[in-house]
Structure 1
Amino acid sequence: MNPKELIARRIGQEFKDGDIVNLGFGIPNASANYIPEGVNVILQAENGALRFGATPTKDTLTPDYGNSGGAPITLLPGAATFDLQTSFAIIRGGHVDKTVLGALEVDQAGNIANWMVPGVMAPGMGGAMDLLVGAKKVIASIQHTDKKGNSKLLAKCTLPLSAANAVDMVITELAVFEIKDGKFFLTEHAPGVTVEEILAKTEGEVVVSENIKEFFS
């Protein structure tokens, strides 16, 4: 299983019956394919859709149905579509239970940078700022290190922030953390990954839970 699929599968375990969840670009959107059986989650696309499911195949997709990243989605029975103004009224009104967003960096205070690298062309922040302050729970999905092996889980973010003190949980291909008291609180490790490896690859301060467990256990 590649790192992105592992993260998406683990995100799916956070979905609870009745949740209204907004998924960001990339790995978060892929988690729609891993909703646990029997769990009824209402997924929201910020461009104006409510209640969609797994990614369609080329034989089942409808070109007119897409999420905010332009990827095709499958509308489920009872789905609704609406304008952007209504969609952001849902987000800003505090009606989203959880949002899962990709990140470039996350730090131990719960700050998140996910929209710009100085000097690099970027599409902009999109709805991230609204989701980070409007959702009841914020989950950041991020690969643990960059291509050079540098940690993306930092003591303090170096890139322009999307929001401060907003992140509640971080899910990587190595570990799951909660943000508690200005530290990364390690609660889970991926199969075959040791606590020592996680600590070595995390720049920010980590507290290891006494009840740490393995993903999917």
Structure 2
Amino acid sequence: MSNLHNEIYVGYYSWPICVLGPGKRVGLWLTGCTLKCPGCMSPHFFVRRPEQRMPVATLMAKLRPGLRACDGLTVSGGEPFEQPAALAALLQCFAAEFPQKDVLVYSGCTIEEIWQDPQKREVLRWIDMLMDGRFEVNSSHEKVWRGSDNQRLLLLSERALKYAAFREAKSPARPLLQVQWLGEGRVSLIGVPARGVTANLRGKLRAVANAAQRETRQD
């Protein structure tokens, strides 16, 4: 039985997300990553902060409305497998409440590395799809849902086999991004952008948001 008293470090969550896995999904980004791949899209999730910590039960309560409305859960980070006990507790709770919905987890670790650690290996029981491997900024970037083509979409459950075509599927010519306005001139970019797009787009979006904020204050 999952331990809902386990505490988990959470950077961000949102739904519906349509660019990180099949269908409409709840996206969850955990914090803390010692891999720190050069060129990572989410360096702001490398370090954990005390205010990001919450019980797994609290997180489930926050995610539940989205999970009811979406097709599945996508977990990224940060490095989710650096919180194996809390991640396992969360995914067990998810499986108990939403047994027909699937889980996709992004990890910079390979499945071979995960398998060497018994605690991390236990988490694999609760995952349908694993996108594994370090982000390699100089690798090709053609396959769907991943930042570099060395990363593998691994199907770990029988129900995930219906997504087999996506293991080698190509990304659209223009990789899809979702943009969310967070207020106070802040934006969130969700998805896997083409190389070099992230910094440029973030700068432009911040400029637009700041201009809109100034106009609002003047009114």
Normalising to structure 2: TM-score of the pair?
A: 0.29
Query: By percentage of residues, which structure has more helix?
Result: 2
Normalising to structure 1: TM-score of the pair?
A: 0.29
